[in-house]
């Protein structure tokens, strides 16, 4: 795992014990820090006790010494790296006074604008950070390396995976982390010459202060997550902070297809040759890249190519990587072709802006959409309604989106995903595409977009 010497002897409060939070606890303990951790989920509290370091649990609040330990033996696994320093314990308890902590480490899912602990930390002058900031602090002790940070409202997972694949194909040691794959602190450090490729959400950037990326990438900025920000401008400013943390001679790659991204690029004009701008509508021959279809993937590919060149990859290596890239699950993933009808899982498209490119990629679509809406309209999708043969709405937004689409495309309220797939399969003919691209979050009917995509895949397999 990745740790830093500077954490030894310090005291951290860790809020949220999902994957990144659990990895953070293990890394801090391994470095010799004292940790008080909490999660509202009892199962996660129990899991961290059984796998992260010696410890005890206290159901009540406060940072006082723990009561009876819930386990007797050491809770460290050798595969996790060095054990906690002798004498340092893990306390799982609700936090008391935050004034005695060196930092409050929160998971990206914790809403800083409404959570009471965030306000308490600010009042106490305690830094609020995330695991990406801890990684930034640990960099000084790692073998010589570079870091690529990729953000944007849409496309960042595909672009991150593509950059990682290009490097891997070229034989460069590389790890992928951040908002994708394994938590970065849980991974073994790269050898000399390695490249860490990080997908960074705005939430993660908000919790980061010192990440000086060798290459920073912005793909786009469109309305999203506005419940966490004081308006759209504040959300865009969060994305811009990725570049504010960079040294001015580091490389910036920005797609300028929207006004906020273009404004951020203009603000960096003094960087000169260290700024690469990607204009919209650039024509590319994507026929040799089966997993990179559609105009949005043209932009993703251009950004990845710019990153690869900045890191010194030659064109032959880049071409090989683009051709062999397999894509990511739940992102325009072709799961089957049955009777000449292609079934495409684009469950990761959780807002209209991310659905629009999928609608642009196919000429004859049976479109399954709906879920927990992030807005009241489908305006971003409207230019591609001509590609929709029929729409099938599901979930909480089903009735609303059926009304929005009424008179524009044939539409029916299916209610649930299995019903929508059955109806689409009955109506589709050879050459058509049945596309799950919901333009909505999944939380009304599913745990997350991955579970929704898996349900789509299973229902399609049942059609065979």
Catalytic residues, by residue number, are 156, 179, 225
Q: Residue 381 is encoded by which pair of tokens? A: 């999708």
186 strand-pairing partners: none
**In contact, 341 and 427? CB cutoff 8 Å:** no
Task: Give every CB contact of residue 17 below 8 A, 6+ residues apart in sequence.
Answer: 25, 37, 38, 39, 41, 44, 45, 47, 48, 107
Alpha carbons 358 and 79: distance in angstroms, whole number: 42
Q: Residue 411 is encoded by which pair of tokens? A: 């539409």
Q: Residue 117 is encoded by which pair of tokens? A: 């602990």
**In contact, 71 and 47? CB cutoff 8 Å:** no
Q: Residue 224 is encoded by which pair of tokens? A: 């999203």
Question: Terminal CA-to-CA distance of the chain, rounded, Å?
Answer: 44
Alpha carbons 56 and 70: distance in angstroms, whole number: 6
Helices (H), 98-212: 116-124, 131-138, 156-169, 202-206
Alpha carbons 239 and 237: distance in angstroms, whole number: 5
Q: What does the chain come to in residues?
A: 464
Side-chain half-sphere exposure of 186, counting CA atoms within 13 A: 18
**In contact, 72 and 127? CB cutoff 8 Å:** no
Break the chain down into helix, strand, coil percent, rounded to 5: 40, 20, 40
The β-bridge relationship of strands 341-345 and 333-338 is antiparallel
Of 142, 140, 146, nearest to 193 (Cα)? 146
- For CA atoms 75, 81, 86, 92, the dihedral sign is negative
Q: To the nearest 10°, the Cα dihedral for 201, 206, 208, 210?
A: 110
Of 426, 427, 403, nearest to 413 (Cα)? 403
Alpha carbons 227 and 337: distance in angstroms, whole number: 39
Alpha carbons 330 and 328: distance in angstroms, whole number: 6
Helix (H, G, I), strand (E, B) or coil at 276: strand
| Residue-wise burial string across 198-222, b where 16 or more C-beta atoms lie within 10 A, e elsewhere | bbbbbbbbbbbbebebbbbbbbbbb
């Amino acid at each position: 795992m990745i740790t830093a010497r500077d954490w030894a002897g310090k005291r951290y409060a860790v809020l949220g014990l999902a994957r990144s939070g659990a990895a953070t606890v293990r890394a801090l303990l391994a470095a010799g820090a004292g940790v008080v951790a909490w999660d509202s989920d009892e199962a996660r509290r129990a899991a961290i006790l059984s796998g992260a370091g010696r410890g005890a649990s206290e159901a009540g609040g406060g940072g006082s010494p723990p009561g009876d330990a819930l386990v007797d033996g050491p809770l460290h696994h050798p595969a996790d790296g060095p054990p906690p320093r002798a004498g340092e314990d893990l306390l799982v308890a609700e936090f008391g006074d935050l004034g005695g902590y060196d930092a409050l480490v929160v998971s990206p899912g914790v809403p800083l604008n409404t959570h009471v602990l965030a306000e308490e930390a600010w009042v106490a002058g305690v830094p609020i950070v995330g695991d990406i900031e801890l990684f930034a602090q640990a960099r000084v002790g790692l073998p010589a390396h570079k870091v690529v940070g990729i953000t944007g409202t849409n496309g960042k997972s595909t672009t991150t995976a593509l950059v990682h694949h290009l490097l891997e194909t070229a034989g460069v040691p590389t790890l992928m982390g951040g908002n994708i794959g394994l938590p970065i602190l849980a991974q073994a450090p790269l050898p000399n010459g390695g490249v860490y490729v990080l997908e960074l959400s705005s939430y993660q950037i908000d919790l980061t202060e010192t990440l000086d990326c060798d290459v920073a990438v912005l793909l786009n900025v469109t309305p999203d997550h506005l419940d966490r920000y004081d308006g759209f401008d504040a959300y865009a400013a969060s994305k811009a902070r990725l570049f504010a943390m960079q040294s001015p001679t580091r490389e910036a790659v920005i797609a300028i297809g929207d006004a906020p991204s273009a404004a951020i690029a203009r603000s960096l004009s003094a960087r000169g040759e260290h700024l690469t701008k990607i204009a919209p509508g650039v024509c590319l021959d994507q026929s040799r890249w089966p997993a990179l279809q559609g105009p949005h993937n043209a932009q993703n590919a251009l950004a990845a190519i710019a990153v690869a060149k900045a890191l010194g990859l030659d064109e032959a290596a880049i071409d090989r990587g683009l051709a062999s890239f397999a894509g990511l699950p739940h992102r325009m993933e072709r799961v089957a072709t049955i009777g000449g009808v292609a079934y495409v899982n684009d469950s990761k498209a959780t807002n209209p802006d991310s659905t629009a490119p999928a609608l642009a990629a196919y000429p004859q679509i049976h479109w399954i959409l709906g879920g927990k809406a992030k807005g009241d309209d489908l305006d971003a999708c409207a230019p591609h309604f001509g590609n929709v043969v029929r729409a099938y709405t599901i979930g909480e937004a089903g009735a609303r989106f059926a009304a929005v689409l009424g008179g524009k495309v044939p539409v029916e309220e299916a209610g649930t995903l299995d019903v929508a797939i059955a109806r689409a399969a009955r109506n589709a003919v050879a050459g058509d595409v049945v596309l799950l691209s919901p333009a909505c979050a999944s939380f009304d009917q599913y745990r997350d977009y991955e579970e929704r995509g898996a349900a789509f895949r299973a229902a399609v397999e049942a059609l065979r």
